[in-house]
């Protein structure tokens, strides 16, 4: 008798109001998903989404492309231009090269500073 009652109870969970066909496993799923759970015929499966659902792209033209968020989706923000410096002469500078006003290295070495400065 107890077995029949258990089967009937599980059957009621399986067919909720005769409309839903979600299984008990769906309701008992304890997964925590970063992006969200998968859906199957309006029932949550016990699996996680692998990729986020990105919002629609905005109609904006950016010369360097759009910024990508932490989910891998394009935002409506333009990327900053990449700073490009011209090639520099191949001299070896122990303290690095002097930078011009735009922050690019030029063909001139930074002065060598003595380890022990002279005291006057």
Flag whether the pTM goes above 0.75. no
pLDDT tens for residues 67-79? Answer: 988 878 889 999 9
Residue 118 lies in a domain: no
Residue 35 lies in a domain: yes
Residue 17 lies in a domain: yes
| Domains held by the chain: number | 3
For residue 73, the model assigns a pLDDT of: 87
DSSP one-letter code for 81: P
Contacts by 1-5 with C-beta closer than 8 Å and gap 24+? none
Residue 120 lies in a domain: no
- How many CB atoms neighbour CB 62 within 10 A? 15
For residue 88, the model assigns a pLDDT of: 85
DSSP one-letter code for 19: T
For residue 114, the model assigns a pLDDT of: 73
pLDDT tens for residues 97-107? Answer: 999 988 899 99
Q: Please, what is the average pLDDT of the chain?
A: 74
Residue 119 lies in a domain: no
Residue 22 lies in a domain: yes
For residue 33, the model assigns a pLDDT of: 75
Side-chain-facing half-sphere of 24: CA atoms under 13 Å: 9
């Amino acid at each position: 008798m107890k077995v029949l009652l258990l089967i009937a109870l599980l059957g009621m969970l399986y067919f909720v109001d005769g409309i839903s066909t979600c299984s008990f496993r769906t309701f008992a799923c304890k997964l925590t998903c970063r992006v969200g759970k998968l859906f199957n015929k309006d029932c949550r499966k016990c699996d996680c989404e692998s990729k986020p659902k990105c919002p629609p792209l905005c109609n904006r033209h950016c010369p360097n492309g759009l910024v990508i968020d932490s989910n891998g989706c394009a935002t409506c923000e333009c990327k900053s231009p990449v700073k490009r410096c011209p090639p520099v002469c191949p001299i070896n500078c122990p303290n690095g090269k002097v930078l011009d006003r735009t922050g690019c290295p030029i063909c001139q070495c930074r002065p060598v500073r003595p380890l022990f400065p002279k005291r006057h």
